[in-house]
Amino acid sequence: MYQLQQIPSETKIKKYLRHILFGKNLFCPVCGSRKVVQYETRYRCRTCRKKFSLFSHTWLSNMKLPYEKFWLLLWSWTTAIPIKQTKTLTRLSEKTVRYWFSAFRAHLPRETHVLERIVQLDEAYFRNAALLMGKQKGMRRLAYDVIFQPSVDRYQATQFLFQKVKPGTKLWTDGAAIYRGIERYWPLKEHRRDLHCKWEFGKTSEIEGVFGNYRTFVRRMYHHHWSENLEEYVREFCFRFSSPELFENPLFYLQKTLSLVPTCI
Ligand SMILES: [Zn+2]
């Protein structure tokens, strides 16, 4: 399998993980002592006598797969290999692949963009849920709210502006009623609306393109769309869209997301 050539050796993966978590010198994640001895695949602290492994004090503590398989699984996720192909590639069950893909997604850093200059704002509808999303025109910057209601109302649209759009922005929307007069609630430099009934579509073309990409992404990678996971999927999609560099290599993802979880002594 040609993909396997991209997977580093177990020794190399452990070296990467060790460096991310401990820097140059290994220490005990429980008491901080540097008197640590290695035995077999684990470590033991000579001060507090606790045993640990590279993953044991991180959010990956229940990762029991061999390191190379773990890397292949993470590589599949970062490269957006669909669930079913990943299952074949890794020889893991679909349940396991879904479990870890969901965990990788859940540990993406929290990011909030405040949009400015020209912002296109629009809604997309799913079963029992709606997505309100803004895109800064010409930039890879998105902000969104997932609303577990069949439709978006004006209150939610104004809340979105309060939290995610800088005062003095130029706002472009379609002609939906929820945006009518919205400039009275938030200081906008201008508010332009397309009237779809008059075949005007240019003001929201970028954000509508993003919605199309989102739907294709979820269908292709996850094969299903469950509205209860909408927030998670959207978050992953937005990260891929605005920070593609994080997905170039499993190592970059781990550098951003992996750290020692403080333990109570
Ligand atoms: Zn210790």
Indicate the pLDDT class of residue 111, thresholds 50, 70 and 90.
Answer: confident
Mean residue pLDDT of the chain comes to 91
Q: What pTM was computed for the model?
A: 0.89
Whether residue 2 has pLDDT greater than 50: no
Whether residue 77 has pLDDT greater than 80: yes
Distance (Å) from CA 189 to ligand 1 centroid: 58
Residue 263: predicted pLDDT? 62
CATH numbers and ranges of domains, the chain: 2-109+246-257 (no CATH), 118-229 (3.30.420.10)
pLDDT mean over 84-96: 96
Q: Which residues of 123-147 are buried (b: 16+ CB within 10 A; e: fewer)?
A: bbebeebbbbbbbbbeeebbbbbbb
Distance (Å) from CA 16 to ligand 1 centroid: 22
Q: Between β-strands 170-174 and 129-136, what pairing exists: parallel, antiparallel or unpaired?
A: unpaired
Q: What is the pLDDT of residues 214-244, one digit of tens each?
A: 999 999 999 877 778 899 999 999 999 999 9
Distance (Å) from CA 44 to ligand 1 centroid: 8
Q: What is the pLDDT of residues 147-188, one digit of tens each?
A: 999 999 999 999 999 999 999 999 999 989 999 999 999 999
Whether residue 264 has pLDDT greater than 60: no
Whether residue 252 has pLDDT greater than 90: yes
Distance (Å) from CA 145 to ligand 1 centroid: 43
The dihedral region occupied by 28, where left means phi > 0, alpha psi between -120 and 50, and beta the remainder, is beta
Q: What is the pLDDT of residues 15-46, one digit of tens each?
A: 999 999 999 999 999 999 999 999 878 999 99
Nearest Cα to 247, choosing from 105, 90, 55?
A: 105
Whether residue 1 has pLDDT greater than 60: no
In the chain, pLDDT over 90 holds for what percent of residues? 83
Distance (Å) from CA 157 to ligand 1 centroid: 51
Angle at 78 between CA 61 and CA 224, to 5 degrees: 95
Distance (Å) from CA 48 to ligand 1 centroid: 4
Distance (Å) from CA 123 to ligand 1 centroid: 52
